[in-house]
Amino acid sequence: MPPKAKVTKEQIISAGLDIVRAGRPEALNARAVAASLGCSTQPVFSNYASMEALQKDVLAAAEGAFQAHLAAAMADPAYPPYKAMGMGYVDFARREPALYRWLFMRDRTGECPEAGQVGDAGAVRLLMEKAGLTEEAAGRLHLEMWIFVHGLGAMAATGYAPIDMSEASDMLTDIYQGLLARHREAGGHG
Protein backbone atom coordinates (compact mmCIF):
# COMPACT_ATOMS: atom_id res chain seq x y z
CA MET A 1 0.00 0.00 0.00
CA PRO A 2 1.49 3.38 -0.99
CA PRO A 3 2.16 5.87 1.82
CA LYS A 4 -0.45 8.55 2.39
CA ALA A 5 0.37 11.89 0.84
CA LYS A 6 1.36 14.37 3.50
CA VAL A 7 -0.74 17.53 3.69
CA THR A 8 1.58 20.50 4.18
CA LYS A 9 0.97 23.67 6.12
CA GLU A 10 1.24 25.58 2.82
CA GLN A 11 -1.54 23.47 1.31
CA ILE A 12 -3.71 24.12 4.35
CA ILE A 13 -3.11 27.87 4.11
CA SER A 14 -3.81 27.81 0.37
CA ALA A 15 -7.08 25.95 0.94
CA GLY A 16 -8.02 28.48 3.63
CA LEU A 17 -7.27 31.32 1.23
CA ASP A 18 -9.49 29.68 -1.38
CA ILE A 19 -12.34 29.52 1.15
CA VAL A 20 -11.97 33.24 1.85
CA ARG A 21 -11.69 34.00 -1.89
CA ALA A 22 -15.00 32.20 -2.35
CA GLY A 23 -16.49 34.89 -0.12
CA ARG A 24 -16.84 32.70 2.95
CA PRO A 25 -14.32 33.86 5.60
CA GLU A 26 -16.80 32.86 8.31
CA ALA A 27 -16.53 29.26 7.00
CA LEU A 28 -12.77 29.13 7.57
CA ASN A 29 -12.60 26.13 9.88
CA ALA A 30 -10.90 22.74 10.03
CA ARG A 31 -13.80 20.87 8.46
CA ALA A 32 -14.02 23.24 5.46
CA VAL A 33 -10.25 23.21 4.90
CA ALA A 34 -10.16 19.40 5.14
CA ALA A 35 -13.05 19.09 2.69
CA SER A 36 -11.25 21.43 0.28
CA LEU A 37 -8.12 19.27 0.52
CA GLY A 38 -10.02 15.98 0.32
CA CYS A 39 -8.66 14.74 3.64
CA SER A 40 -9.72 14.34 7.25
CA THR A 41 -9.36 17.14 9.78
CA GLN A 42 -6.36 15.34 11.32
CA PRO A 43 -3.72 17.08 9.10
CA VAL A 44 -5.25 20.46 9.93
CA PHE A 45 -5.10 19.78 13.65
CA SER A 46 -1.59 18.32 13.32
CA ASN A 47 -0.41 21.63 11.89
CA TYR A 48 -2.55 24.00 13.95
CA ALA A 49 -3.30 23.95 17.65
CA SER A 50 -6.20 26.36 17.16
CA MET A 51 -8.41 27.84 14.48
CA GLU A 52 -7.16 31.29 15.52
CA ALA A 53 -3.63 30.26 14.49
CA LEU A 54 -4.88 28.99 11.12
CA GLN A 55 -6.92 32.14 10.56
CA LYS A 56 -3.89 34.27 11.44
CA ASP A 57 -1.76 32.44 8.84
CA VAL A 58 -4.49 32.71 6.20
CA LEU A 59 -4.85 36.43 6.96
CA ALA A 60 -1.05 36.79 6.57
CA ALA A 61 -1.28 34.98 3.22
CA ALA A 62 -4.07 37.33 2.10
CA GLU A 63 -1.92 40.30 3.15
CA GLY A 64 0.96 38.76 1.18
CA ALA A 65 -1.25 38.46 -1.90
CA PHE A 66 -2.22 42.12 -1.51
CA GLN A 67 1.41 43.24 -1.05
CA ALA A 68 2.50 41.24 -4.11
CA HIS A 69 -0.29 42.83 -6.17
CA LEU A 70 0.72 46.28 -4.93
CA ALA A 71 4.41 45.65 -5.67
CA ALA A 72 3.55 44.53 -9.22
CA ALA A 73 1.43 47.66 -9.72
CA MET A 74 4.26 49.87 -8.48
CA ALA A 75 6.78 48.14 -10.77
CA ASP A 76 4.61 48.90 -13.80
CA PRO A 77 5.87 52.12 -15.42
CA ALA A 78 2.33 53.05 -16.54
CA TYR A 79 1.94 55.31 -13.48
CA PRO A 80 4.23 57.26 -11.19
CA PRO A 81 4.95 55.26 -7.99
CA TYR A 82 2.55 57.12 -5.70
CA LYS A 83 -0.35 56.88 -8.14
CA ALA A 84 0.54 53.24 -8.81
CA MET A 85 -0.12 52.49 -5.11
CA GLY A 86 -3.66 53.81 -5.40
CA MET A 87 -4.28 52.12 -8.72
CA GLY A 88 -2.96 48.83 -7.34
CA TYR A 89 -5.23 49.11 -4.30
CA VAL A 90 -8.34 49.69 -6.42
CA ASP A 91 -7.34 46.98 -8.89
CA PHE A 92 -6.87 44.49 -6.04
CA ALA A 93 -10.39 45.31 -4.81
CA ARG A 94 -11.74 44.64 -8.32
CA ARG A 95 -9.82 41.40 -8.85
CA GLU A 96 -9.96 39.99 -5.31
CA PRO A 97 -13.17 41.39 -3.80
CA ALA A 98 -13.50 38.77 -1.07
CA LEU A 99 -9.87 39.13 0.04
CA TYR A 100 -10.20 42.92 -0.11
CA ARG A 101 -13.30 42.85 2.10
CA TRP A 102 -11.59 40.50 4.56
CA LEU A 103 -8.43 42.60 4.71
CA PHE A 104 -9.86 46.10 4.66
CA MET A 105 -13.54 45.95 5.59
CA ARG A 106 -13.49 43.81 8.73
CA ASP A 107 -13.78 45.07 12.29
CA ARG A 108 -10.35 46.51 13.11
CA THR A 109 -11.14 47.46 16.71
CA GLY A 110 -8.07 47.01 18.86
CA GLU A 111 -5.63 46.86 15.97
CA CYS A 112 -2.75 49.29 15.69
CA PRO A 113 -3.98 52.30 13.63
CA GLU A 114 -1.09 51.86 11.17
CA ALA A 115 -1.98 48.24 10.44
CA GLY A 116 -3.03 47.77 6.85
CA GLN A 117 -2.51 51.35 5.70
CA VAL A 118 -1.09 51.56 2.21
CA GLY A 119 2.51 52.65 2.06
CA ASP A 120 2.52 54.80 5.22
CA ALA A 121 6.05 56.04 5.91
CA GLY A 122 7.24 55.20 2.40
CA ALA A 123 4.30 57.02 0.84
CA VAL A 124 4.86 60.06 3.05
CA ARG A 125 8.57 60.14 2.14
CA LEU A 126 7.66 59.79 -1.54
CA LEU A 127 5.26 62.74 -1.30
CA MET A 128 7.85 64.81 0.55
CA GLU A 129 10.46 64.11 -2.15
CA LYS A 130 8.32 64.32 -5.28
CA ALA A 131 5.83 67.01 -4.26
CA GLY A 132 8.10 69.02 -2.01
CA LEU A 133 5.76 68.83 0.99
CA THR A 134 6.60 68.97 4.66
CA GLU A 135 6.21 65.73 6.57
CA GLU A 136 3.00 66.96 8.19
CA ALA A 137 1.45 68.06 4.88
CA ALA A 138 2.55 64.87 3.12
CA GLY A 139 1.04 62.76 5.92
CA ARG A 140 -2.25 64.63 5.73
CA LEU A 141 -2.39 64.43 1.92
CA HIS A 142 -1.66 60.70 2.05
CA LEU A 143 -4.41 60.12 4.61
CA GLU A 144 -6.92 62.04 2.47
CA MET A 145 -5.87 60.16 -0.68
CA TRP A 146 -6.01 56.83 1.13
CA ILE A 147 -9.55 57.55 2.32
CA PHE A 148 -10.61 58.32 -1.26
CA VAL A 149 -8.83 55.27 -2.70
CA HIS A 150 -10.35 53.06 0.00
CA GLY A 151 -13.78 54.37 -0.99
CA LEU A 152 -13.17 53.41 -4.62
CA GLY A 153 -11.93 50.00 -3.51
CA ALA A 154 -14.94 49.44 -1.26
CA MET A 155 -17.31 50.35 -4.09
CA ALA A 156 -15.53 47.93 -6.42
CA ALA A 157 -15.32 45.09 -3.87
CA THR A 158 -18.97 45.29 -2.88
CA GLY A 159 -20.35 45.67 -6.39
CA TYR A 160 -21.82 49.04 -5.45
CA ALA A 161 -20.35 50.63 -8.55
CA PRO A 162 -18.32 49.18 -11.39
CA ILE A 163 -14.92 50.84 -11.35
CA ASP A 164 -13.33 51.38 -14.74
CA MET A 165 -9.57 51.65 -14.21
CA SER A 166 -9.19 54.45 -16.74
CA GLU A 167 -11.87 56.41 -14.91
CA ALA A 168 -10.22 55.59 -11.57
CA SER A 169 -6.94 56.93 -12.92
CA ASP A 170 -8.58 60.21 -13.91
CA MET A 171 -10.28 60.50 -10.52
CA LEU A 172 -7.05 59.86 -8.63
CA THR A 173 -5.28 62.51 -10.68
CA ASP A 174 -8.06 65.04 -10.03
CA ILE A 175 -8.17 64.38 -6.29
CA TYR A 176 -4.38 64.37 -5.95
CA GLN A 177 -3.93 67.62 -7.86
CA GLY A 178 -6.67 69.32 -5.85
CA LEU A 179 -5.28 68.17 -2.51
CA LEU A 180 -1.72 69.01 -3.51
CA ALA A 181 -2.74 72.54 -4.54
CA ARG A 182 -4.60 73.01 -1.24
CA HIS A 183 -1.64 71.80 0.84
CA ARG A 184 0.80 73.97 -1.06
CA GLU A 185 -1.53 76.98 -0.67
CA ALA A 186 -1.67 76.34 3.07
CA GLY A 187 2.12 76.50 3.23
CA GLY A 188 2.76 72.79 3.51
CA HIS A 189 5.71 72.76 1.13
CA GLY A 190 9.28 72.42 2.27
- Count of residues for the chain? 190
- Total-model pTM: 0.88
Q: What is the pLDDT at residue 2?
A: 54
Which amino acid appears at position 8 of this protein? T
Q: What is the mean pLDDT of each run of 10 residues along the chain (190 residues)?
A: 74 96 90 94 93 95 96 94 95 96 88 57 90 92 95 95 93 96 81
Q: Give the Cα separation of 60 and 181 in Å (integer).
A: 37
Query: Three-state SS for 23?
Result: coil
* Alpha helices (H) along the chain: 9-21, 30-37, 42-47, 51-75, 81-95, 97-104, 120-131, 135-158, 165-185
Q: Where are the domains of the chain?
A: 1-59, 80-190
